[in-house]
Amino acid sequence: VDFAGPILIKNSLRRNAPTSKCYICVFVCFFSKAVHIELVGDLTTDSFLAALRRFWARRGIGNKIYSDNGTNFVGANRRLKELRDLFTSEIHKKMIYQCAAEVGVEWKFIPPRSPHFGGLWEAAVKSIKGQLQKTLGTASLTYEEMNTILVRIEACLNSRPITPLSNDPSDLNALTPGHFIIGRSLTSLPEPDLVDMPTNRLHRWQRSTQLFQQIWQRWSKEYLSQLQSRQRWPKSKGPKIEVGALVLLKEDNLPPLRWQLGRVMEVSTGKDGVVRVAKVRTDRGVLQRAGRMLCPLPIYD
């Protein structure tokens, strides 16, 4: 579990309405890589424990929880200092231990000055914060609008394919964090593409949808690039693509939560042995794509 923020939200829909700070609480499952996001109204122990109880009520109670101990929030930035002060507070730690002990959960704080211990949730927080900062900019949202966008971002993160469901060449399905949450992959309702629509032609909820679609567009491209960079490429010249492998295709303008998956049927390699072109079977038929447009899914033993 980790915190991100603060972010500013409007207290009402009035044009010059005052703003207040809120925070993002991110829970990441070590096993399934599933992400759960809670919007927290203020930086107090009571608000954090309320978010924790909401998480337990919806996702179940685990055996262990790992979190930052607060000393990793370093720097002169006053916003970071607020987070650090909360997590280094002995009263805060005592109340967390007590709450966890009541339900049989072991709470562990990672060692001081060791943010790499929390690499998994740090990556999730970085992904969320980065996209919010790039896309929202100076957009002023209410609590309901911000919470809706965050929950939809959560769905995006939990829709990402992580490994093939089977080795069957005819199976085009991938395992996602969503399978561990609802038993199948997550989907979204169809809605018009508002990414390039002028903002002065949108009402507030359409504007929220536009912001979410822009976040999806940025994040999905970022995820595919990260997936490619994790592969062990021969001599760093290209991804390892084999016949029968399940791959993600880099496609433009896919709607939110939609990933184009396919099975490699045939490959054409260059003199250096790197795959240049591949024929891929998808739910839209057989497509021919350049090797750099394919992202093989890792297979875990």
pLDDT in tens, 120-165: 555 666 777 777 777 776 668 899 999 999 999 999 999 999 899 8
Do 132 and 202 share a domain, yes or no?
Answer: no
pLDDT band at 17 (very low <50, low <70, confident <90, very high): confident
Domain that holds residue 253: 160-296
Tell me, what CATH number does 71's domain have?
3.30.420.10
Same domain for 194 and 143: no
Please indicate, yes or no, whether residues 112 and 187 belong to a single structural domain of this protein: no
Whether 71 and 215 share a structural domain: no
Question: pLDDT (tens digit, 9 = 90+) per residue, 241-257?
Answer: 889 999 999 998 899 99
Kindly state whether residue 33 falls inside one of the protein's structural domains: yes
Residues 45 and 127 occupy one common structural domain: yes
Report strand pairing: 64-67 vs 106-109.
parallel
Same domain for 11 and 112: yes
Residues 28 and 172 in one domain: no
Shared domain check, 99 and 179: no
Residue 232 pLDDT > 80, yes or no? no
Task: Answer left, alpha or beta for residue 66, where phi above 0 means left and psi between -120 and 50 means alpha.
Answer: beta
For the record, the structure tokens of 187 come out as 């989907």
Tell me the two tokens of residue 242.
Answer: 């084999």
Q: Which of 158, 174, 194 is the last residue of a domain?
A: 158
pLDDT tens by residue, 265-283: 999 988 888 889 999 999 9
Q: Do 148 and 169 sit in the same domain of this protein?
A: no
Give yes or no: residues 139 and 78 share one domain: yes
Name the E strands within the chain. 2-10, 19-28, 35-40, 64-67, 106-109, 163-164, 174-175, 246-249, 261-269, 275-282, 285-290, 294-296
Q: Are residues 44 and 142 in the same domain?
A: yes
| Final residue of a structural domain among 127, 158, 189 | 158
Instruction: Decide if pLDDT at 169 tops 60.
Output: yes
Q: What average pLDDT score do residues 48-73 get?
A: 80
The number of domains in the chain is 2
Which pLDDT belongs to residue 77? 45
What percent of the chain clears pLDDT 70, i.e. is strictly above it? 81
Which of 55-59, 81-85, 205-209 has the least mean pLDDT? 81-85
Distance of CA 5 to the CA centre of its chain: 16
Local confidence band at 76 (pLDDT 50, 70, 90 cut-offs): very low
Statement to judge: residues 153 and 10 lie in one domain: yes
Residue 301 in any domain: the answer is no
